[in-house]
Structure 1
Amino acid sequence: MTTDDLIGKTLGGYEILDRIGQGGMATVYRARQTSMNRIVALKVLPRHFMRDDTYIQRFEREVKIVSQLEHRNIVPVHDYGQYDGQPYIAMRYMPAGSVDDLLKQGVLSPEKILSIIQQIAPALDYAHSKNVLHRDLKPSNILMDDDGGAYITDFGIARIVGSEGQGYTITTQGVVGTPSYMSPEQAQGKDLDGRSDIYSLGVMLFEMATGRRPFQNDTPYGIAVMQVTAAPPLPRSLNPNISAALEQVIIKALKKNPDDRYQTATELAQDLETAILHPDKLHDTQPRALQINPALQQTQPAFIEKKTTPSSGTGAPSPAPVPAVRTPPPSYAGRPISQHLPPPGFRSRVRNIRRSNPGNWWIGIIVGGLIGCALLMGIVLALAMLASTLISSDDPPPTAQRGGQLATPASATSTVISSSILTAQAAARVSPTQIMPIDVEPSATFEADFVPSQIVYFAYRNDKYDIYLYDMLTGVEVPLTDDDSSSSYPMVSPDGTKMLFQSNRDGDFDIYIMDLASREVTQLTDNTVSDRTAAWSPDGQWIVYSSDTRGDGNHDIYRIPAIGGEPELIFSNGQRNGHPRISPDGRSMVFTSGDSNNASSWEIIRMDLSTGETLQLTANDTRDASPSFTPDGQRIIYNPYGDGLSAIATIDLNGSESPQILYDGEGYEWGMNYSADGKWLIFNSEIEDVSYIFVMRADGTGVRKIEGIDGFYPSWVQRR
């Protein structure tokens, strides 16, 4: 019996009336306790999670922890039991929903914010006094009653400080929680205390006051990176009605260093009360709004068909503004969006912008030295350059810094660097690969069709992120990068001989190519901004990538010859444009485009590379990301977003049909790549704090988990 089948049934003395919530590990129902004729909230563990002891242990642990906490603003547990082997928890029913439900109606008034914080702050401090860390404080875990009462709930991933040896700690990797709300130290897998929950409370405060979270990104991994490295936007830049005093409280709660934050939730609540009721008593240490250079706000030209001739003078006209991609009404298919060619002289102007920003270098060095990470779902070590307030990346990779190791070329030609020599000690795993079934396809059928291959991916090993090669036939994993820098997002060339990746080994993220036979590395881009998510053209002659050209978090799309040369601008509209991919026939490109500060605005765009015309394929209020073409070029595969998770879906080339879901598992799926024959898809799924690698048929059937490895962004290495 699935949880969806439970409505109308009786489970252990509880008559289930309707479903009121769906979380990552449980479903919550409104139910009537027949013995006492009262309405309760019944949290039920779905049967497909019962195969994993982790979920059962979390259920049991939540009961143990909450039974120790008796506070008026912590949701009490009435009962715990099992019915036909299916665990459930009966809790007090809160009819007014959660703070998350309130936020769906818009920003909250200062008075409402104060009322909520004043109630949950003492409850949080009380839990801390009992040595309990919540570790997943967020609006959906603050429930409301009809009288405006606020209550903390969901202690499923809470931890009792000092209890690691008593069976309370389920994960050995230590990074659990929701990336949008976790503290920098939580994202890095460090030891935590109550101040980590204070940071999460600060994120909630930011969201209640501005209507959005401080950091948004394509993946949980990217968000966690930003928690560590990026400065949050000033709240008053998002909501000018926020007072300077309230902004000051929010900024202090979000300090990266726990010592600089509020030390208790009550201390935060007291300053919040002063800021809202007596704002003149708090000194305004923040400017009203950042003054942004108008040149950085100017919308750039959108399409360039071939390399632009540099200007020979200073009187070239400014590029004409190009309207941003607009969302059509939901009932319409995608539509062409006009683009403009840049005026003469634009190329040299763009390069000047890319070469400017020298002040970010030393900031990057400082921040890079602070980062040594381990990630939720496999998270962090991230982008040193993004610590600057002028650079707020939207899809950053992990960071470990290495400065001065690579020569900076004086010209546009590429620089070749010898990589580390692999030794016998590099073979980390020696057992043959086990591919475990997720669905019911007979193993014999799957194994008869599937040919083991080699794959590359990036993963967290030895306190940093590197790229690894894994042989499914032998079960051996070897590192392809092994230095002090952070390397990620590998993609193998169409002929299987080379590998693209991004690395911050010269201080900021640039694009590199590795020869897989010799392990020689060629630096392809060299500038002072972030270049990322590179991909090959089908013939292997060109590389497309996104670049934070202006250092403002909005990325433009470029191409560069695979043998090195001058980058050429392909698309720019003043927004965040990322994950470009070229169609098999080389005529089209797909990418994600939207507001860098609002992930829900990100849509899938297809571009005709000969005319520059674009077509918007998705139109909704949720995040769509990571598009690519199917092997036949007839559809787009991408990650739609919903209910906090990411699925794998395809959509037709014109966006005229509803998306077709290929796979929507329990985790956050992304990083899809097709095999050379187009029969198989490989991808990663972040489940709890581990990013597993899966393989399935191109039609979404035969899903298998590759046992013994974990990592991100897998790419096939074809045997030749």
Structure 2
Amino acid sequence: DSDFHACSDNEYQGLGRTCFCCRSEYCNTREFHNESLDNITESTRGPTSTEPTASPSQDYSPDATTIATISVGSVILIIIVVLAIALTVQFYSKGRIVSFKNKEVDLVEEERNHGMMDGTITGSGVGMPILTQRSIAQEINLVQQIGRGRYGQVWRGEYRSEEVAVKIFEAHEQSSWSKEVNIYATCLLQHPNILRFIGADTKDMHFCTQRWLVFECCDQKSLYEYLQNHTLTISTFLNMVAGVVCGVEHLHEEVHGQVTKPAIAHRDLKSGNILVRADGSCCIADLGLALRSTNLSEIINDPSSAIVGTKRYLAPEILAGIINFNIFQSFLCADVYSLSLIIWEMATRVMDEDSFKALEYQIPYQNSVPHDPSLENMKEVVVTQMIRPLIPQHFRANTTLNAVANIMEDAWQEASTARPSALLMKKKFLALQFGQEKN
């Protein structure tokens, strides 16, 4: 009595397998099955047609046009997604650059509006380094080589109608170039008495890559060369010394706040690394050996790197090998010693038409050590014999020069902790400058 379900292959019109149900008696016999199957096939086939009937596989298989359309659509969709991501990244990157530039402009405006009493340089240090990322090497026309040092060459060039100085590093001096770029990238470094930095770039030259630093060009070259060819009045001397001391004090100054600046030790202060502009103002250059307080670990990990600089200007504690390189203040005290020798060089070239003439230019310890002294030569003179540059007798007869002599003697003391800070020296020289102008 149960229902019977039967299926059979249909040989007509390729319809495949046909299923039917029945409830009558003996419906599961072969004869009944064949008869019923013929009836179902005829009714399914319908009227005779001359058109061929498509197979099931043909009904559901996509043709070539459909496949091509889907493929092209997928590619276009992927391209749209990639472009959208690229535009988003570019938009936010530009936003960050604009934000940085606006911040720089605000800080520069703050520097201009800071207000300096009586036109003197306070060394407040508000300002950002001019370090906009750009490719400038292709726009500079090198005119003449004007110097050479341990790192490479210095050229005078032209950049957008401005005369510039280009410091070109040798191929093997990549680390020196990178260190100096990092120093000039320090926030709040820009100052009237620090050589203006314009930018850094690399340039492919045949089979090597040159690394460039671009600065303002100072007409009078270095203070070392300037003093050999010029004498100074007391007023000019005080103006120039005040500029040098303000520049050193700004390097040493540590700034805290929303924008911070670490203290920086120059570590190679000498008259050859101070440049004189056309207006007679001085600026400090060559920060290749400078050290930031935030990078003191470099010295701690490699104590041999603590002994750097020009041997003639090295402080006694460096020559004796007893500098405490675990304390950053030690390097600032060493700078103060070197600064005292530079002041002495300048003071010996001071003249007064009514009272005294300028002395012949001499470098520090010129009569005590060879022209190119060794560390042992300098240690013997500075540490063992405790010799210091001679103070001319006529300094004691002049109130201003006598005060300068006292500042120098304090700054080159044997004990580094007994030396005045650059800030205190700046205050003293600005007071002398003010007093001279008042008279």
Q: 1:209 aligns with which of 338, 342, 347?
A: 347
Any idea what SS the aligned residue of 1:251 has?
A: helix
1:147 to 252, 259, 279: 279
Q: 1:173 to 1:167 in 2, by over 3 A?
A: closer
- Which of residues 167, 172, 185 in structure 2 aligns to 1:67? 185
> 2:138 and 2:299 mapped to 1: Cα distance?
28
Task: Indicate the residue corresponding to 2:140 in structure 1.
Answer: 14
User: Using the alignment, how far apart are the partners of 2:307 and 2:140 within structure 1?
Assistant: 35
Alignment of 1:570-581 (within 5 A): none
- Structure 1 counterpart of 2:227, one-letter code: L
Ranges of 4+ aligned residues in structure 1 off by more than 4 Å: 166-171, 237-242, 273-279
- 1:159 CA drift (Å): 0.9
Secondary structure of 2:306 counterpart: coil
Q: TM-score, normalised by structure 1?
A: 0.34
Give the match for residue 335 of structure 2: 197
Alignment of 1:51-90 (within 5 A): 51=172, 55-68=173-186, 69-84=189-204, 85-90=209-214
**Contact preservation (8 Å) 2:238, 2:429:** yes
- Return the alpha-carbon distance in structure 2 between the equivalents of residues 82 and 93 of structure 1: 20
Q: Counterpart in 2 of 1:245?
A: 403
Residue 103 (structure 1) aligned with residue 227 (structure 2): yes
State whether residues 166 and 215 of structure 2, in contact with CA within 8 Å, keep that contact through their aligned partners in structure 1: yes
Cα separation, 1, equivalents of 2:139 and 2:338: 37
Tell me: CA distance 1:241–1:22, structure 2 relative to 1, closer, same or farther (3 Å): farther
C-alpha RMSD of the superposition: 2.8
Report the Cα offset of residue 91 of structure 1.
Answer: 0.9
The Cα of 1:116 is off from its aligned counterpart by 1.6
Query: Once the 2 structures are TM-superposed, how far is the Cα of residue 123 of structure 1 from its aligned partner?
Result: 2.4
**What code does the residue aligned with 2:318 have?**
Q
Query: Aligned runs of 1:153-168 on 2, under 5 Å?
Result: 153-165=285-297
Check the 8 A contact 2:299/2:306 in 1, yes or no.
no
Q: Distance in 2 between matches of 1:170 and 1:78?
A: 32
Whether the 8 Å CA contact 1:187–1:225 is kept in 2: the answer is no
Instruction: Supply the distance in 2 between the matched residues of 1:81 and 1:105 (Cα, whole angstroms).
Output: 35
1:120 positional shift: 2.7
The structure 2 residue matched to 1:235, chosen from 388, 391, 397, is: 391
**Aligned match of 1:268:** 425
1:257 alignment counterpart: 415
* Alpha carbons of structure 1 residues 166 and 135: separation in structure 2 relative to 1, 3 Å: closer
Kept in 1, the 8 Å contact 2:239–2:433? The answer is no
Deviation at residue 235 of structure 1 after TM alignment: 1.2
Amino acid at match of 2:152: A
The CA distance in 1 between the partners of 2:185 and 2:211, in whole Å, is 17
State the SS of the aligned residue for 1:81.
strand
Q: Distance in 2 between matches of 1:64 and 1:208?
A: 31
Could you tell me how far apart the structure 2 residues matched to 1:154 and 1:169 are? Answer: 24
Rounded to whole Å, the distance in 2 between the matches of 1:239 and 1:64 is: 42
Following the alignment from structure 1 to structure 2, what is the Cα–Cα distance between the partners of residues 186 and 118?
A: 26
**Which whole-Å CA distance do the structure 1 matches of 2:154 and 2:303 have between them?**
24
Find out whether 1:135 has 2:267 as its counterpart. Answer: yes
Query: Which digits, 9 at most, give the CA deviation of each residue in 1:171-196, with x for residues without a partner?
Result: 73421001122211233342233121
CA shift in 2, pair 1:42/1:164, >3 Å: same
What whole-Å deviation, never above 9, does each CA across 1:202-249 have from its counterpart, x for those lacking one?
A: 000111112323323122321244233322143115978764333222
- Evaluate the alpha carbon distance shift between residue 167 and residue 224 of structure 1 in structure 2; reply closer, same or farther with a 3 A threshold: closer
SS in 1 for 2:346: helix
Gaps of 5+ in 1: 1-9, 280-720
Deviation at 1:273, TM superposition (A): 4.9
Deviation at 1:104, TM superposition (A): 0.9
Q: Distance in 1 between matches of 2:412 and 2:152?
A: 30
Counterpart secondary structure, 1:268: helix
Structure 1 residues 81 and 278 mapped into 2: Cα distance closer, same or farther (>3 Å)? Answer: closer
> Aligned equivalents of 1:16 and 1:227: distance in 2?
42
Name the CA shift for 1:164/1:252 in 2 (closer, same or farther; >3 Å).
Answer: closer
What one-letter code is carried by the residue in structure 1 that aligns with 2:424? E
Residues 137, 201 of structure 2: 8 Å contact kept: no
Q: 1:58 to 1:225 in 2, by over 3 A?
A: farther
Amino acid at match of 1:82: T
Where do 1:637-648 residues align within 5 Å?
A: none
Q: Deviations over 1:363-403 (max 9, x none)?
A: xxxxxxxxxxxxxxxxxxxxxxxxxxxxxxxxxxxxxxxxx
Q: Secondary structure at the match of 1:74?
A: coil
8 Å CA contact retained: 1:160, 1:168: no
Conservation of the 8 A alpha-carbon contact between 1:32 and 1:38: yes
Counterpart-to-counterpart distance in 2, 1:96 and 1:187: 32
The answer for the alignment partner of 1:226 in structure 2 is 381
Which residue is equivalent to 2:86?
none
Cα shift readout 1:225-279 (whole Å, capped 9, x = no counterpart): 423332214311597876433322221121111222212x232233345557769
Q: Deviations over 1:386-444 (max 9, x none)?
A: xxxxxxxxxxxxxxxxxxxxxxxxxxxxxxxxxxxxxxxxxxxxxxxxxxxxxxxxxxx
Q: CA deviation at 1:122?
A: 2.5
How far, CA to CA, are the matches of 1:101 and 1:144 in structure 2?
9
Q: Work out whether residues 206 and 212 of structure 1, in 8 Å CA contact, stay in contact via their aligned partners in 2.
A: no
Matches within 5 A, 1:493-642: none
2:79 is aligned to none
Unaligned runs of 5+ in 2: 1-135, 255-261, 349-360
Query: Do the aligned partners of residues 238 and 134 (structure 1) sit closer, same or farther apart at CA in structure 2, a change above 3 Å counting?
Result: farther
Structure 1 residue identity aligned to 2:425:
L
Q: In the TM superposition, what is the alpha-carbon distance from 1:12 to its structure 2 partner? A: 3.7
Q: Distance in 1 between matches of 2:212 and 2:300?
A: 19
One of 219, 240, 246 as aligned partner of 1:122: 246
With CA pairs under 8 Å and 6+ residues apart, which has the higher RCO, 1 or 2? 2
Q: Is the 8 A contact 2:202 2:212 kept in 1?
A: yes
**Alpha-carbon deviations, 1:110-145, whole Å to 9, x = none?**
322211221232222221122210011111211122
Q: Percent identity?
A: 23
Deviations, residues 301-346 of structure 1 (Å, cap 9, x unaligned): xxxxxxxxxxxxxxxxxxxxxxxxxxxxxxxxxxxxxxxxxxxxxx
Q: 1:272 to 1:122 in 2, by over 3 A?
A: closer
Cα 1:267/1:20, change in 2 over 3 Å: same
Conserved? CA contact 2:299–2:305, under 8 Å: no
* 8 Å Cα contact 1:113-1:205 kept in structure 2: no
Say yes or no: does 1:27 pair with 2:153: yes
Query: Is the partner of 1:97 in helix, strand or coil?
Result: coil
Asked whether the 8 Å contact 1:120–1:150 carries over to 2, the reply is yes
Aligned counterpart, 1:37:
161
Cα distance in structure 2, aligned partners of 1:134 and 1:28: 20
Residues 274-301 of structure 1: per-residue CA shift (max 9 Å, x gap): 557769xxxxxxxxxxxxxxxxxxxxxx
Pick the structure with more helix per residue: 2
Paired residues of 2:263 and 2:293 also in contact (CA < 8 A): yes
| Residues paired across the two proteins, number | 261
Structure with the higher strand share, 1 or 2 = 1
Task: Say if 2:222 and 2:272, in contact at 8 Å, map to a contact too.
Answer: yes
